[in-house]
Amino acid sequence: MNIGSHGGSCAHSCCLRVQNLSVKIGNDTILEDINLHAHCGEMIALIGPNGAGKSTLLKAILGQQDYNGIISFCAPGQRNRRPKIGYVPQSPTFDPGDPVTVSDLFTCCMSKRPAFLGLSKAMRKKVLECLDRVHGEDLLDKRVGALSGGELQRVLLALALEPLPNILILDEPLSGVDVEGMEVLMDMLDEIRQVYDLSIIMTTHNFSVLNTYADQVILINKSIVCQGTPKQVLSSGEFNRVFHRKGEIV
Amino acid sequence: MSLWYQLCDMLPIEMLHWDFMKNALLAVLLISPLFGISSTMIVTGKMSFFSDALGHSAFTGIAIGAICGISSPTWVAVIFAVVFALLFSYVRSRSNHTADTLIGVFSSTAIALGIFIATLGGSSFTKYNKYLIGDILSVTGAEIGMLAIVLIVVIIFWLILSNKIMLTSIHPQLASSRGISVRVTQTLFTTAIAIVVTLAVSWVGLLILNSLLVLPGATSRNVAKNLKQYSLFSVLIALISGIVGLCLSYYIGASSGAAISLVLALLFLISFLFRKVRM
């Protein structure tokens, strides 16, 4: 496996390229021959049935999963370096009884000062700045276990954006979020990719948001079955076959 | 020590006229914060049963040390408990069994091995009774010095690693995505707990040791609103229970460890009721 700069040409200032990626766990082939190309400011949605290998692909990009193939990244001043990746994990559940506030969570993630000593003024200012990016300043002193699905996703998104990454990866960010929260979250992601010019790769089972927000949709079922714009993929025969559907989802 | 003795002599408290009570009180003042600090992480990391298993492994280490004729079996027990903790972490990371099943396997094996070694060749088990119920009144000046050093080391360890341990405990996947090695952090944490448990087992006793490791954190969790309160309350609860339990055991005439545990249990009950009212 290899993470580094890629040799191919790309018109965009920064991009992530995955070439011939495959993942085997024991004798099982989880993913094979995966190729994808993500540019700055682009939102890519990975879709596929359960067990298709979507989360495994994200883990490989994150460096948490061994793989064969090449994952390369280039950005101005960052050639030959690993990209900075912000990650929002799948179905994050926190024990509702744990006395851990949002500010505690940020301190644990971002500060060397022990969270049990409390929040310093400088750290409080920094956490508020981070939460401001997701319009969540009011969540600072809330317990993490008491947050709604949408609020928790916003908090984790704010965490993933500090330090500001080149690539933002979200694993099923819409699961456990109500319809209203879904719209708020997707609008926020759309705003973030435009403001910070970063690539967003997300997995989802919610196809209704794809036409509005995704630039590229990749249908995976161990290998890439179909790839293109949301309209192309959602109206394809491959999509209907994989999801046992009879018509287009819009 | 002499300064502590002078301070105790100045206090108009009858139980502090005895040197063994002066030692015991100082030991409680040192060991309680150790338990209070460790307790929050054990409770948050859902490792209550694991710390109990470590107590069992400490007993086995003491039995091995004693049968080998080593004058200070505590250090053999520390090494055995650390190996036990590392072995458990290794097996846990490579097994599809749940943690509680593996803890059951390790715990029962350790205690069986300990009893087997202790009674080998028809030896009497009586000399090991102090490790079962503990005897903080027997703590010596040298042991108090060692406790003070361990307390300082644990505090330094905590100041450096507490954020990583807490994040690993509350959400391992999130910790991993922030560049924290979950396995290394968990191993360091279990090693630290193994050392604290083993050093405390002869004073507190294997049978009630776990109550001191779990109850301060569990009680604090009932009332704390954030991590600062969680840690502060846990240390205070451990300290208050230690002092009150020691006094009770002196005036009533019962095991100190048991008295401390009962005070902790009472505080847990009060905090539980308060939590219900608050909710």
Contact A114/B226, CB-based, under 8 Å?
A: no
**Is the model's pLDDT at B52 over the cut of 90?**
no
**Is the model's pLDDT at B279 over the cut of 50?**
no
Contact B221/A114, CB-based, under 8 Å?
A: no
Q: What is the pLDDT of residues A192-236, one digit of tens each?
A: 888 888 889 999 988 888 988 999 999 999 999 999 999 999 999
Q: Say whether both A46 and A30 belong to one domain.
A: yes
Question: Which residue's entry shows tokens 């193939």?
Answer: A69
Rounded average pLDDT over A160-187: 87
Domain total of chain A: 2
Contact A64/B178, CB-based, under 8 Å?
A: no
Q: Say whether both A45 and A33 belong to one domain.
A: yes
Whether A249 is in a domain gets the answer no
Chain A nearest CA to B90, separation (Å): 19
Does the bond joining A83 to the residue before it have cis omega, within 30 degrees of 0? no
Whether A250 is in a domain gets the answer no
Q: What is the pLDDT of residues A230-242, one digit of tens each?
A: 999 999 988 988 8
Last residue of a domain, one of A146, A163, A183: A146
> Tokens at residue B21, please?
């009570």
| CB proximity A139 to B under 8 Å | no
For residue B70, the model assigns a pLDDT of: 78
Q: Residue A28's domain is classified under what CATH number?
A: 3.40.50.300
Whether A247 is in a domain gets the answer no
Q: Domain extents for chain B?
A: 2-278
Q: Rounded to an integer, what distance in angstroms lies between the CA atom of residue A154 and that of residue A235?
A: 31
Q: Rounded to 5 degrees, what are φ and ψ at B18?
A: -95, 135
Q: Say whether both A70 and A132 belong to one domain.
A: no
> Tokens at residue A145, please?
């276990």
Last residue of a domain, one of A107, A129, A146: A146
> Tokens at residue A89, please?
């994990």
| CB proximity A250 to B under 8 Å | no
pLDDT-derived band at A40 (thresholds 50, 70, 90) equals confident
pLDDT-derived band at B134 (thresholds 50, 70, 90) equals confident
Whether A215 is in a domain gets the answer yes
Comparing A90-94, A113-117, B61-65, the range with the smallest average pLDDT is A90-94
For B69, other C-beta atoms within 10 Å of its C-beta total: 7
Contact B162/A116, CB-based, under 8 Å?
A: yes
| CB proximity A104 to B under 8 Å | yes
Q: Say whether both A110 and A227 belong to one domain.
A: no
Would you call A27 helix, strand, or coil by DSSP?
coil
Whether A248 is in a domain gets the answer no
For residue A195, the model assigns a pLDDT of: 87
Q: Say whether both A124 and A226 belong to one domain.
A: no
Rounded average pLDDT over B198-208: 80
Q: Say whether both A232 and A119 belong to one domain.
A: no
Whether A85 is in a domain gets the answer yes
Classify residue A50 by its DSSP letter.
T
For B241, other C-beta atoms within 10 Å of its C-beta total: 29
Is domain B2-278 classified as CATH 1.10.3470.10? yes
Q: Say whether both A25 and A134 belong to one domain.
A: no
Contact B228/A112, CB-based, under 8 Å?
A: no
Q: Say whether both A173 and A63 belong to one domain.
A: yes
Instruction: Share the mean pLDDT of chain A.
Output: 85
| CB proximity A116 to B under 8 Å | yes
> Residue A103: which domain range?
95-146
pLDDT-derived band at A4 (thresholds 50, 70, 90) equals very low
For residue B276, the model assigns a pLDDT of: 52
| CB proximity A117 to B under 8 Å | yes
- Residue in chain A closest to B181 (alpha carbons) equals A64
Q: What is the pLDDT of residues A45-80, one digit of tens each?
A: 999 998 889 989 998 988 888 899 988 887 766 655
**Is the model's pLDDT at B18 over the cut of 50?**
yes
Q: Say whether both A15 and A115 belong to one domain.
A: no
| CB proximity A226 to B under 8 Å | no
Rounded average pLDDT over A174-187: 84
| CB proximity A187 to B under 8 Å | no
Q: Say whether both A49 and A18 belong to one domain.
A: yes
**Is the model's pLDDT at A1 over the cut of 60?**
no
Q: Say whether both A135 and A198 belong to one domain.
A: no
DSSP assignment of B161-185 equals: HHHHHHHHHH-HHHHHHTT--HHHH
Q: How many helices (H) and strands (E) does chain B have?
A: 12, 0
For residue B164, the model assigns a pLDDT of: 93
Q: Say whether both A99 and A110 belong to one domain.
A: yes
Q: Which residues contact A19 (CB under 8 A, 6 or more apart)?
A: A6, A35, A69, A70, A71, A72
